[in-house]
Amino acid sequence: MNQPVFITGASGFIGGKIAGRLLSQGRSVRVLARRPLPELEKLGAEIVAGDLHDENALRRGCAGVGTVFHVAGRVGVWGPATDFFRVNVEGTRRVLAAARASGASRFVYTSSPSVVFNGGNLAGVDESAPLCTQAPCAYPTSKAAAEKLVRAANSPEFKTVSLRPHLVWGPGDKNVVPRVLALARTGRLKIVGPGRNLVDCTHITNVVEAHLLAESALRINPLVAGRAYFITNGEPVVLWDWINELLRGVGLPPLTKRISLGAAYGIGAVLETLWTALPLRGEPPMTRFVAKEMATDHWFRIDAARRDFGYAPRVSMADGTAELIAHLRVTG
């Protein structure tokens, strides 16, 4: 029986790709969206108009489904903590309630590795790392609180799993790589720190694969239920070497200018104060969180995902980077 699945966040990069992949497999897909999604509609998706705070829309979306993929959330490094907690925590609470009330049996949550952000290097971290309780921006703590809700909701009748993909990229990404390229083109991007920090990135194909494998595992492997898993390409790169490879690939000069982590962190603190006090529109060009992210190690072990649901990255960093450069040369 092709029991429908319900996806939140299908207007975003990850959610949209999950929806497209499921539709290509002949699955019945229903998505929550605040705006029309003509491309998914053409593929056969059913659109439920609404957002995470629209309980009627959530009930309609969850009605009769077997699996809920909760991908939607507020991302970013700046903004009122109340906004992040309203979307990431209270929104997740509402989706969980609607899913359980509808009789859904599986819940796959898109979390983030930032839930274990501790302000320092995260080198070879596994799932035993404690969830963060404090961070220089609200995103990590709000995602950690939401993940706790998802893991606590697990039961024999309602199995949940949380996935933590790191720095998702690939053709169609409108956030990670486009932002780097925009900063480089305007001369506002500098190497932060020594420039040798190792970072995990995750190709979108691998992220989608992980979500589908985790959903399947919830049906058959009791070890998966109630757990969280890091998802990466499994081959950490020197961040600034990879960025320079992308820049050269699209005809931009590689980065050579540098700023120390201490200076970047101090500038971020000052700018955050100014943006809060005045207040100024948009987000500061540097924040304490971004300074740390750009200068420290962030790579994670994926042994548990390999073991428990057979996750294996399908697109390597080399192949994915070549694909992305070719895509960017065409699309600009």
Q: Which helix (H) or strand (E) holds 83?
A: helix 81-85
C-alpha distance from residue 278 to each of 67, 184, 271, 273, 281 (Å):
45, 28, 11, 8, 9
| Closest-CA residue to 21 (of 40, 2, 8) | 40
Annotated catalytic residue within 139, 229, 265, 311: 139
Q: By CB neighbour count within 10 A (0-12 exposed, 13-18 middle, 19+ buried), where does 324 fall?
A: buried
**Which residues sit opposite 169 in a β-bridge?**
203
Residues making up the chain, counted from first to last: 332
Q: Is 139 a catalytic residue?
A: yes
Chain-centre distance for alpha carbon 277: 30
Inter-residue contact 309 to 213 (CB < 8 Å): yes
Inter-residue contact 52 to 38 (CB < 8 Å): no
Number of Cβ within 10 Å of residue 315's Cβ equals 17
Provide the annotated active-site residues: 139
